[in-house]
Structure 1
């Protein structure tokens, strides 16, 4: 039987409204948490707390990239500041070694909530990294 290796996490594509907006050095897709609701019926013979599903919370998506001349993400952020922000669908696609998409996550109604510019250091020998954090209202695993 042939051994199947897991996919590598460094080969991915990020799309915003089905368009590639650049390469990202790091993507953190957040987490999904369902809060439990605890309750106990006073007359129940078992002395325990029962739990049921509560609200679902989605962690923010963080995109980090090396500073380049493209400004599409910064323009999107500025529209939030101006009060005219358009919510978009952000898609993260994981690819195999042949660059075939093997897994895909769609983040629905995303919008920028935080921007972190690069730090500046004249004695540094590092790439200038920017990051943007996106809130969203749900995630779907497509593949």
Structure 2
């Protein structure tokens, strides 16, 4: 009798990445793609003058977070991102928390990435082509001040 996989552990298989949801300040929005969920610690090199080792010590420095890029289909209604982008002035900007949740087959949340104090730095409208048959996609780039990752 062939193995139907029912005896396998659910922790063996990696999660698929095609089912996710994005919430901006508590309101859900649909996107086709999310990228840029990465962070790094800058490296500080230091070597004391009396060190007998001829190489520096490497220590963690400031944390750096990449901008997050969201892509979505253009709809007939006006995009809320244009208003949010236009609200940014030199001295003030409306900052919002953004939650990106990876969902399992049943729609349950498996992983959550939370962007703190995000705001749009760039909006790219769709390209237009008379001979094309693709969906019109707009791109929104968000800067943020922190990325928190939580598993289930």
Structures share a fold, TM > 0.5?
A: yes
Tell me how large the CA RMSD over aligned residues is.
Answer: 1.6
Match of 2:116 in 1: 108
* TM-score normalized with structure 2 length: 0.87
Match of 1:77 in 2: 85
Match of 1:2 in 2: 8
* TM-score normalized with structure 1 length: 0.92
Tell me if 1:34 matches 2:48: no
Max Rg structure: 2
- Post-superposition shift, 1:46? 1.3
Structure 2 residues not aligned, in runs of 5+: 1-6
Structure 1 residues not aligned, in runs of 5+: none
- Post-superposition shift, 1:134? 0.3
TM-superposition CA deviations, 1:82-131 (whole Å, max 9, x none): 86531000000000011100111110000000011001111111111100
Tell me if 1:52 matches 2:55: no
SS in 1 for 2:62: strand
SS in 2 for 1:13: strand
Moved more, 92-101 or 78-87: 78-87
Tell me if 1:19 matches 2:43: no
Q: What CA distance in whole angstroms lies between the structure 1 residues aligned with 2:79 and 2:55?
A: 55
Structure 1: which 4+ aligned runs deviate by more than 6 Å?
Answer: none
